[in-house]
Structure 1
Amino acid sequence: MSNSNLPLPLLPQIPRCSPNTLIQLASKLTDTRISIPSVDKVLKAIEQGNADQISQLEWIYCIHTKPQWDQQNVDCSSKTSAAIWRIAISNSWLQHQLLWRLAIYHGSQEKQVLAKSLVESFDIFANSDLLNHLLPVQIIRILSHKQAGIELARIACEQHLNQTDILNKIQGVLPIWIPLFSEFIDYISPYFTTIISPKPQQIKWLLSCLNLMSDSQQIKAVDYLLTNVPNDIATHNSSLVDWLRNNYRNGDNWYKLSDFARQRLREWIGGVNYGDFQKLVDILLNRLNLRDFESNQLRRRRNFWADYSNRFERLRILLPKASQIAIGYQIQGDVDLLEDDGSDSTEVCIFDFGEWFVVEFFRGRGSEMRLFPNNSKNQQILFGEATLSVKRIRSLGGHKHDHVFLWQVFSRTWLENSGILPNRDAKPSTNPTPDQVQERKYKLERWKIEIECLEREAQAYVAEQGIIPSTHAHAAIPAE
Structure 2
Amino acid sequence: MNIQFRKIHLPPLPEVNADALTKLVENDRNISFKPPSLPAGVPKSQIVSRSNLDEIIQDIENSKTENITVLEWVHCLYNKDKWDAKNPGRSISTSKKIWKAAEQNTWLKQRLFWNLVLNYNGKQALASSLVENHSAFSPQNILDKEKLKIIQVLTTSEPVNGLVKLCLQEFLTPYKLFQKHQLPTKSLILEQALDDIVIVFSLIPTPNQKQVKWLLQCLEEIEDNTTN
Higher relative contact order (CA 8 A, sep 6+): 2
Distance in 1 (alpha carbons) for counterparts of 2:53 and 2:84: 10
Structure 1: give runs of 5+ residues left out of the alignment.
1-33, 218-480
Q: Assess, with a 3 A threshold, how the Cα gap between structure 1 residues 164 and 65 changes in structure 2: closer, same or farther.
A: closer
Is this contact kept in 2: 1:101–1:114, CA < 8 A?
Answer: yes
Pairing of 1:77-96 with structure 2 (within 5 A):
77-96=91-110
Match of 2:21 in 1: none
Do residues 145 (structure 1) and 156 (structure 2) align?
yes
Match of 1:207 in 2: 216
Residue type of the alignment partner of 2:99: W
Q: Cα offset for 1:154?
A: 0.9
- 2:200 pairs with one of 185, 191, 197: 191
Q: Cα offset for 1:167?
A: 5.2
Is this contact kept in 1: 2:160–2:193, CA < 8 A?
Answer: yes
Residue type of the alignment partner of 2:223: S
Q: Assess, with a 3 A threshold, how the Cα gap between structure 1 residues 188 and 120 changes in structure 2: closer, same or farther.
A: same
Q: Cα offset for 1:153?
A: 0.9
CA deviations on 1:200-246 (whole Å, 9 max, x unpaired) are 4333322332344439x8xxxxxxxxxxxxxxxxxxxxxxxxxxxxx
Distance in 2 (alpha carbons) for counterparts of 1:158 and 1:37: 45
- 2:123 pairs with one of 110, 116, 121: 110
Distance in 2 (alpha carbons) for counterparts of 1:62 and 1:165: 31
Paired residue secondary structure (1:49):
coil
Paired residue secondary structure (1:74):
coil
Question: How high is the TM-score relative to the length of structure 2?
Answer: 0.67
Distance in 2 (alpha carbons) for counterparts of 1:58 and 1:49: 15
Distance in 2 (alpha carbons) for counterparts of 1:116 and 1:197: 43
Question: How high is the TM-score relative to the length of structure 1?
Answer: 0.34
CA deviations on 1:440-476 (whole Å, 9 max, x unpaired) are xxxxxxxxxxxxxxxxxxxxxxxxxxxxxxxxxxxxx
Is this contact kept in 2: 1:38–1:62, CA < 8 A?
Answer: no
Pairing of 1:22-171 with structure 2 (within 5 A):
36-107=50-121, 109-111=122-124, 113-125=125-137, 127-130=138-141, 134-163=145-174, 165-166=176-177, 168-170=179-181
Match of 1:335 in 2: none
Paired residue secondary structure (1:214):
helix
Q: Assess, with a 3 A threshold, how the Cα gap between structure 1 residues 70 and 102 changes in structure 2: closer, same or farther.
A: same
Distance in 1 (alpha carbons) for counterparts of 2:144 and 2:171: 15
Pairing of 1:17-416 with structure 2 (within 5 A):
36-107=50-121, 109-111=122-124, 113-125=125-137, 127-130=138-141, 134-163=145-174, 165-166=176-177, 168-170=179-181, 173-195=182-204, 198-214=207-223
Is this contact kept in 1: 2:96–2:136, CA < 8 A?
Answer: yes
Residue type of the alignment partner of 1:178: S
Is this contact kept in 2: 1:38–1:61, CA < 8 A?
Answer: no
Q: Which protein is bigger by CA-based radius of gyration?
A: 1
Structure 2: give runs of 5+ residues left out of the alignment.
1-47
Q: Cα offset for 1:98?
A: 1.3
CA deviations on 1:417-456 (whole Å, 9 max, x unpaired) are xxxxxxxxxxxxxxxxxxxxxxxxxxxxxxxxxxxxxxxx
- In the alignment of these two chains, the number of paired residues is 179
Distance in 2 (alpha carbons) for counterparts of 1:76 and 1:167: 33
Identity, % of aligned positions: 30
Q: Assess, with a 3 A threshold, how the Cα gap between structure 1 residues 35 and 99 changes in structure 2: closer, same or farther.
A: closer
Distance in 2 (alpha carbons) for counterparts of 1:147 and 1:194: 17
Distance in 2 (alpha carbons) for counterparts of 1:159 and 1:87: 29
CA deviations on 1:283-336 (whole Å, 9 max, x unpaired) are xxxxxxxxxxxxxxxxxxxxxxxxxxxxxxxxxxxxxxxxxxxxxxxxxxxxxx
Q: Cα offset for 1:88?
A: 0.5
Paired residue secondary structure (1:110):
coil
RMSD over aligned Cα atoms: 2.8
Distance in 2 (alpha carbons) for counterparts of 1:99 and 1:187: 24
> Which structure carries more strand by proportion?
1
Distance in 2 (alpha carbons) for counterparts of 1:212 and 1:35: 43
Residue type of the alignment partner of 2:154: L
> Which structure carries more helix by proportion?
2
Q: Assess, with a 3 A threshold, how the Cα gap between structure 1 residues 133 and 201 changes in structure 2: closer, same or farther.
A: farther
Residue type of the alignment partner of 1:83: K
Is this contact kept in 1: 2:49–2:69, CA < 8 A?
Answer: no
Paired residue secondary structure (2:168):
helix
Q: Assess, with a 3 A threshold, how the Cα gap between structure 1 residues 56 and 35 changes in structure 2: closer, same or farther.
A: closer
Is this contact kept in 2: 1:105–1:114, CA < 8 A?
Answer: yes
Residue type of the alignment partner of 1:124: A
